[in-house]
Amino acid sequence: MSERETVEATEIDCIVAGTNALTVQDETKAALVAVLKPIADRIPVYQRDAETVMVRNQSEADFAVERCNAMAEDMKAVKAFPLLRSIRESANSVASAWCGFEKKLLAISDSRHIVRQRVIDWQEDERKKAEAEQRRLQAEADERARKEQAALLKKAEAAKRDTTKERYVEQAQTVVAPTVTVEAPKSGLRGVARVWKIASMDEDAFFAALAQRKDLRGFVSIDKTKTQMERAKAANALMEIPGVVFEQRVR
């Protein structure tokens, strides 16, 4: 076994050991239940509060605040419970270790991308060569057809009998250059497709067109733009944007 294989095998052993250590013992389970079950039992009550608690006067507002504070206390207790936090951190650590190991294995994607790109580059070069050769051969075929037509028309001009002239003219009209096709070699590489990519973009022209063409507006994320505008307004309360109305809300 190579040194690299030994390192990876040891790494797997360490991650597996960490995974096995996540097993919850009976005493740990009992401590979790003792603290968290009462909170879990109150969740249906809180959900019912969300459906039924109304605020139409001072007393109802006081009651609603009391319920909000109770929910906040339970949320605080869950987040601050050291045993649960320890389990969560251990689980996150193990999950991170497995994800890191998977990422290390999938690094072969980088090597595959390099080799694959070389095949694509070769295939593209061959396609361009085939297109150039096709244009050259087509030009030659067109020129031969042109010369053949010219020769027949010249014979028609030299003919003395009308019937002979007509025959040569008809023959000239039927001369058509064959369509030349040159096939580029195929690599057999899977998943290769020709796609459109933006080579350049005139943002001024694009945004000016948005005002006139509604079909272009789908390319702009309005929801994301609204969020950015709200953040900008929060940073500068005096900022105004044409067409946009801001209002302050309590959350």
Taking the C-alpha atoms of residue 218 and residue 223, their distance in angstroms, rounded to an integer, is 11
Taking the C-alpha atoms of residue 211 and residue 243, their distance in angstroms, rounded to an integer, is 12
pTM: 0.51
Q: What is the pLDDT of residue 132?
A: 96
Residue 141 CA from chain centroid, whole number: 46
The type of residue at 143 is: E
**Other Cβ atoms within 10 Å of 208 Cβ, number:** 11
Instruction: Domain ranges for the chain, please list them.
Output: 3-106, 116-174, 196-251
Q: What is the pLDDT of residue 24?
A: 76
Q: What is the pLDDT of residue 5?
A: 54
Q: What is the pLDDT of residue 7?
A: 52
Taking the C-alpha atoms of residue 168 and residue 171, their distance in angstroms, rounded to an integer, is 5
Q: What is the pLDDT of residue 21?
A: 73
Phi, psi for 110 (deg, rounded to 5): -65, -45
Q: What is the pLDDT of residue 222?
A: 83
Residues of the chain short of pLDDT 50, as ranges, are: none
